[in-house]
Structure 1
Amino acid sequence: MSDHAFQLLAIIIYMLAMVIIGWYAYKRTTNLNDYMLGGRDLGPVVTALSAGAADMSGWLLMGLPGAIYAAGLVEAWLAIGLTLGAWLNWLLVAPRLRVYTQVSKDSITIPSFLDNRLRDNTKLIRIVSGIVILVFFTFYVSSGMVSGGKFFESSFGFDYHTGLLIVTVVTVGYTLFGGFLAVSYTDTIQGLIMFLALVLVPIVGVFVTGGIGETVSSIKAVDPQHFSLFASATAAGVISSIAWGLGYFGQPHIIVRFMAIKSVSETKQARRIGIGWMILSLLGAMGTAIVGLAYFQQNGQVLDDPETVFIVMGQILFHPFIAGIMLAAILAAVMSTISSQLIVTSSALIEDMYKALFKKDASDKHYVMAGRIAVFVVSIIAAILGWNPDSSILDLVGFAWAGFGAAFGPTILLALYWKKLTNIGALVGMVVGAVVAFVWGQSEALSGMLYEIVPGFLINLILAVVVSLITYKPNKDIEKEFDDTIELLKSEKK
C-alpha cells in the first residue's frame, strides 16, 4: 500500500467510528431534552473533553503551531489568555449555570434561560439571542466546512467540493440523527485523538532532533529570541491576546456543556480534566512547532507553509497509517466544532424561535423531528455559503468569537450573579455590545490597536448594569429562583 492509501484508510476508519457513535446516540435519544441537551446526564470526562474539542477547532493543530514556528513564543499569549478564560469559565459559570437553568423552568438553551430567568414577557431576548446564534453559527459552520474541503484537497488531492461534501455528509449525519449525545460522544473521541496526536509529535520529535539541548541550540541558531514571550511584544498586543479569554463566557456551543453535566459536584472534576487537557494540548502544539523548526534547521530545509508543521512532522516521524491518524486529528478538530455549532443552531431555531413563536403544545417527537430538519437546512445553507473555496467567510471566525463574547458574556455573568439584572438592561447591553464589537472589528485602526471583544464586553457590562438599575422592579419569582439556586449550589457542594 502507498503512503496515501494508509493515510486514507485511517481517515475512513475514523469517519466510520463517528457514524457508529452517532447511531448509538440516536438509539438513546427519545425526547427533546435528550436531543438538545443529552438529558442532562453527561459525565465529567465527556463534558470536559467535548467542551475542549468543540472549542479548539483547527486553530489548535494548525494555527497555533504555525504562529509559534514563524514568530516564536511571543505568539503564546493567546494560548495563555484562552487557558485563563476557560478556567474562569469552568469556575464561575459551570456550577451556577447547571443549577440555574434547571431551577428556571428547566431551560435547555441559553436564550430560553435568559428569557425564563428575566421573565421577559416580550420574548425579545429569546428571539434576538436566537437570531444572533442562528446567523453567526451558520457562517461559523460554513467556515468549518471550507476547512474540511481544503483539508481533503491539500492532504489527498481531492477536489475541494468533494472534500467539503464528505465532511458535511458525515458530520451532519451523526449530528442530525444523534443530536446532542452524538455530538458530545464524538467530540470526546475527537478530543482524545487531538490530545494524543499533539503529545506524541513533540515527544518523538525531540528524540529525532537530538534531545532537548540540541533542539534548543538549533532553535537559537535560527532566532535567539524565539523562546522569549516578550520579543517584539507590545502592551496592547498582549492585552488583546489575553482578552480572547473573555470570549468563553458567551460561547453557546461551549457553555451548553455545563448545562448538560449530570450534577454540580462533577463540575470540579470536569474542570480539572478539561483544563488539564487544554494545557497539555496547547503545550503539545507549541512543542510541535519547536521540534519542527529544529528539525528543518538541522536538515537545511525550509517549510513553505508554517501552518502545515504538524502535518509534515507527523508524516516524517511516523508510519503512514499513524500519520493518517494525525491527519484525522485535524479533521476531528474541524468536525467537532461544526457539530457542536450545528446542534446549538438547531436548538436556537426550534426551541427559541419556532417553539416560542408558533408551536407551543406539540409533542416531543414533533420537536425532535423539527430539530433534525433544522440541522439539515442550516447545513445546506452553510455548504452553499462555503461552496466557493476563496470565500471570505473564514474572516468572520475571529469576529464571531468576539461577537458572541461581547453579546452574551456579560449577560450570562450578570444573570448568574446579580439579582437586579432586568430584561431591558440585558437586551440593551447585548445588542450594543455586539454592535460595538462589529464596528470596532471593521475598523483597521481600532482593531489593530485593541481586539474588539474588549470594548464590546465592557460597554455591554456597563450598559446592562446602568439600564437595569434604572428599570429594576422587585419580582418575587425572580428573587426566589435566585435564592433557590444559591441554596442548591451550597447543598450540592457539601
Structure 2
Amino acid sequence: MQLTESTWFVIAIIIYLFAMLAIGFWAYRKNDDYSDYMLGGRDLPPFVAAMSAGASDMSGWLLMGLPGALFVSGFSELWIAVGLSIGAWANWKWVAPRLRAYTEIARNSITMPSFFENRLRDRSRLLRIISSIIIIFFFTFYISSGMVSGGRYFESTFDGDYLTGLLIVAGITVAYTFIGGFLAVSYTDTVQAMMMLAALIIVPVMALVALDNPTDIFGWQTENAYGPWPEGNPEYFNMFTGVSAAVIIGNLAWGLGYLGQPHILVRFMALRSPRQAVQGRRWNISWMVLTLLGGLIVAMVSTVYFGQKQSSVTDQTNYETVFLDLTRILFHPLIAGLVLTAVLAAIMSTMSSQLLVVSSSLIEDLTKIIFRREIPDKVLVNLSRTAVVAVAIIAAMLAIVPKDSILGLVGFAWAGFGSAFGPLVVAMLYWRRLTSAGAIAGMITGAVVSVGWSVLGLSSLMYELVPGFLAGAVALAVVSLLTREPSEEITAEFDAAVYLAETGEFSGAAAEEAREAAGLETVSEPGPAEGGSSRA
C-alpha cells in the first residue's frame, strides 16, 4: 500500500509527540513537591539550562518568522539577530550568576515576582501583584503567537485546517506541561533545541545541492523575480538601505529584551550554582549563532529556489512558511516529517515555558496572597495545572483569528517584558540604592510606554522596546533617589548575594553562611506579608 505524504507526516509527528509525553511522565516521577514542579529543585545542569533557554527563546520565530522576514526584506532584517546574540551573551554573563545566588538568598524565591518582593521587603505586596499582572498580560499574547505558528504549521504541512492545527499543538503542549512541570519543560526543550539545530543544518544544505548553481544565492535575488519582488530586490544584501538609524537601533534593542524575559530568567534561577552560568553561556551562544546562521541561509536559498523552480510559497503575505515548504519539496515524506517536527518543537518549547511561568504567577504570586494562609504543596501543584489550562484557552481564543504576523505578536510581548522588567532586573542585581517605590514606578512606566507606543502606531519609527526601556529606567532611578534609602538588612543581603555570585560555589549551606556573615538570621519560605521576616 502506497502511503500518502500526509500519512508519513502524521507517523513522524506521532513519534515525536509520544517522545515528548514520555519525558513529561518521567518528570512527573521526579516532582516531590511544589518547588520541584515550578523550579526543578534548582538542580538544572548547565547544558540543559542553555538549550532549554535557547529553545524557549527562539520559538517558531527562528524557523518561520526570521526566514520569512529575511526572504521578504533581505539583510536589513539581520539587525534583530545581531541584537539578540549580543543581548543573550550579556544576559548569561552578568545576570545569570547574580540572579541564581540572589533568588536563593532572598527567601528562596521561586518566581520573579516573589524575588522582587523579597529582595526589597515590599510589605504592600504591590510589587508582586503588579509584576504578576504584567506577566499574565504579555505572556497571553506571547502564547497566542505560538498557537498562530501551530495553526500555520498545519496549514503548510498538511494542507489542513488552521484551527485544527492550533488546537492539536496547544493540546499536546498543555498535556506535558500539565503533567511534568518545570523539569518536563526543560528536558523537552533541550531535545527540541537539538532538533531545531539539526533541521537548520540539513535543510539549507540539501536545498543548496538541489540548485543548478549554489553560488546563485549570493546575487540572483537582486536581479530576478521571487516572492513579493517582480523585478528582484537590488538591495537584498544591504543591511542599511531602506532602514533608518532609528529602525536599526530598534532592531538591535531586541537584545535588551533578554534582561526582562521571565521564561529565560527562570533557567538561571534553576542552575545548580552561579559558577555554572559560564558553561551555560558557552553552550547557549554557540547554539544561537549556529541556528541564526541556519535561518539566514534558509532565506537566501529560498529566494533562489522558489524563483528558479517556479514553486509557490504557502504563505503569500508574510512568507513565513518558506522553511516548511522547502522541506516538503526536498525530502521523502517520512524524513520531511521528522525535519518538520523541528518547527513543531520550536513552537511547543516556547509555549510550554510560558505557560508554566504564567501559572506560577497566578498561583504562587496571586492565589497565595488572596488566601493568606499556608496551602499544601499538592493543592498548589493542582492549582498550577489548572492555571496552565485556563491560560491556554484564553490564548487560543486570541489566536483563532490572528490579527498580526508571528513576528509582530512576539515583538509586542518581547518589548513589554523588556521594558517593564529589563531595567528592574539590572537594578535588583546591581544597585543597592533601589527602593520598592522606584521598582514599581519603573515597572509600570516601562510597560505603559511600550504598549502606548505600539497602540499609537509609532513602532514603524522605532521599536517600542527602546522608549519603553529608557522610560522605565529613568522612572526607576528618579523615584528610588527621591524615596527613603533601603534598610541595612536589605543592603546586607545584597552584599551577601554579590559575594556568593562572585565566588561561584553555591549550595544551601553556603547561602546560610553568607547570610550569617552579613548579620542576617535564617528565614523560612514565606514572604514579608505572610509572617516571615529577617532581622539584621
TM-score when scaled to structure 1? Answer: 0.95
Displacement of 1:141 in angstroms is: 1.8
CA contact (8 A) 1:421 1:472 kept: no
- Residue aligning to 1:450: 462
For residue 110 of structure 2, give the secondary structure of its aligned residue in structure 1.
coil
Q: Which amino acid aligns with 1:196?
A: A
- The correspondence of residues 132-143 of structure 1 with structure 2, limited to 5 A, is 132-143=134-145
Displacement of 1:302 in angstroms is: 5.2
Displacement of 1:246 in angstroms is: 1.1
- Residue aligning to 1:296: 306
Q: Does 1:87 align with 2:89?
A: yes
Displacement of 1:380 in angstroms is: 2.6
Provide, for residues 193-231 of structure 1, a one-character-per-residue CA deviation record: whole Å limited to 9, x for no partner.
Answer: 111101111222222225653432434543453222223
CA contact (8 A) 1:424 1:468 kept: yes
- Residue aligning to 1:71: 73
Q: Does 1:421 align with 2:431?
A: no
- The correspondence of residues 374-453 of structure 1 with structure 2, limited to 5 A, is 374-386=387-399, 388-390=400-402, 396-444=409-457, 446-453=458-465
- Which is worse superposed, 238-247 or 393-402? 393-402
Structure-2 separation of matches of 1:163 and 1:171: 12
CA contact (8 A) 1:247 1:406 kept: yes
Displacement of 1:5 in angstroms is: 1.3
Provide, for residues 20-58 of structure 1, a one-character-per-residue CA deviation record: whole Å limited to 9, x for no partner.
Answer: 111111111111111111111111111011111111111
CA contact (8 A) 1:429 1:459 kept: yes
Match of 1:155 among 146, 154, 157: 157
Structure-2 separation of matches of 1:196 and 1:54: 17
CA RMSD of aligned residues (A): 1.9
Percentage of identical aligned residues: 51
Structure-1 separation of matches of 2:22 and 2:185: 12
Q: Which amino acid aligns with 1:480?
A: A
Q: Which has a greater percent of helix?
A: 1
CA contact (8 A) 2:196 2:342 kept: yes
Match of 2:98 among 79, 96, 106: 96
Displacement of 1:391 in angstroms is: 5.2
CA contact (8 A) 1:218 1:298 kept: no
Displacement of 1:360 in angstroms is: 3.2
- Residue aligning to 1:249: 259
Structure-1 separation of matches of 2:354 and 2:310: 43
1:391/1:74 CA distance change after superposition, 3 Å: closer
Q: Does 1:273 align with 2:286?
A: no
CA contact (8 A) 1:433 1:456 kept: yes
1:71/1:207 CA distance change after superposition, 3 Å: same
Q: Which amino acid aligns with 1:476?
A: E
1:272/1:170 CA distance change after superposition, 3 Å: same
1:257/1:74 CA distance change after superposition, 3 Å: same
Q: Which amino acid aligns with 2:432?
A: K
- The correspondence of residues 98-177 of structure 1 with structure 2, limited to 5 A, is 98-177=100-179
Count of aligned positions: 492
CA contact (8 A) 1:311 1:326 kept: no
CA contact (8 A) 1:420 1:472 kept: no
Provide, for residues 277-323 of structure 1, a one-character-per-residue CA deviation record: whole Å limited to 9, x for no partner.
Answer: 11110100010111122223443555463322111221222221121
- Residue aligning to 1:259: 269
- The correspondence of residues 13-24 of structure 1 with structure 2, limited to 5 A, is 13-24=15-26
Q: Does 1:481 align with 2:493?
A: yes
- The correspondence of residues 180-219 of structure 1 with structure 2, limited to 5 A, is 180-210=182-212, 212-219=214-221
1:146/1:212 CA distance change after superposition, 3 Å: closer
For residue 18 of structure 1, give the secondary structure of its aligned residue in structure 2.
helix
For residue 343 of structure 1, give the secondary structure of its aligned residue in structure 2.
helix
For residue 459 of structure 2, give the secondary structure of its aligned residue in structure 1.
helix
- Which is worse superposed, 137-146 or 458-467? 137-146
Gaps of 5+ in 1: none
Match of 2:47 among 45, 48, 63: 45
1:163/1:213 CA distance change after superposition, 3 Å: closer
For residue 449 of structure 1, give the secondary structure of its aligned residue in structure 2.
coil
Structure-2 separation of matches of 1:403 and 1:188: 26
1:382/1:449 CA distance change after superposition, 3 Å: closer
- Residue aligning to 2:245: 235
Q: Which amino acid aligns with 1:419?
A: R
Gaps of 5+ in 2: 225-232, 507-536
CA contact (8 A) 1:186 1:336 kept: yes
1:474/1:137 CA distance change after superposition, 3 Å: closer
- Which is worse superposed, 353-362 or 334-343? 353-362
Structure-1 separation of matches of 2:50 and 2:258: 14
Displacement of 1:447 in angstroms is: 2.1
1:217/1:143 CA distance change after superposition, 3 Å: closer
For residue 60 of structure 1, give the secondary structure of its aligned residue in structure 2.
helix
- Which is worse superposed, 117-126 or 311-320? 311-320
- Which is worse superposed, 139-148 or 69-78? 139-148
- Which is worse superposed, 324-333 or 293-302? 293-302
For residue 108 of structure 2, give the secondary structure of its aligned residue in structure 1.
coil
Structure-2 separation of matches of 1:99 and 1:409: 18
Q: Which amino acid aligns with 1:490?
A: E
CA contact (8 A) 2:8 2:337 kept: yes
CA contact (8 A) 1:72 1:226 kept: yes
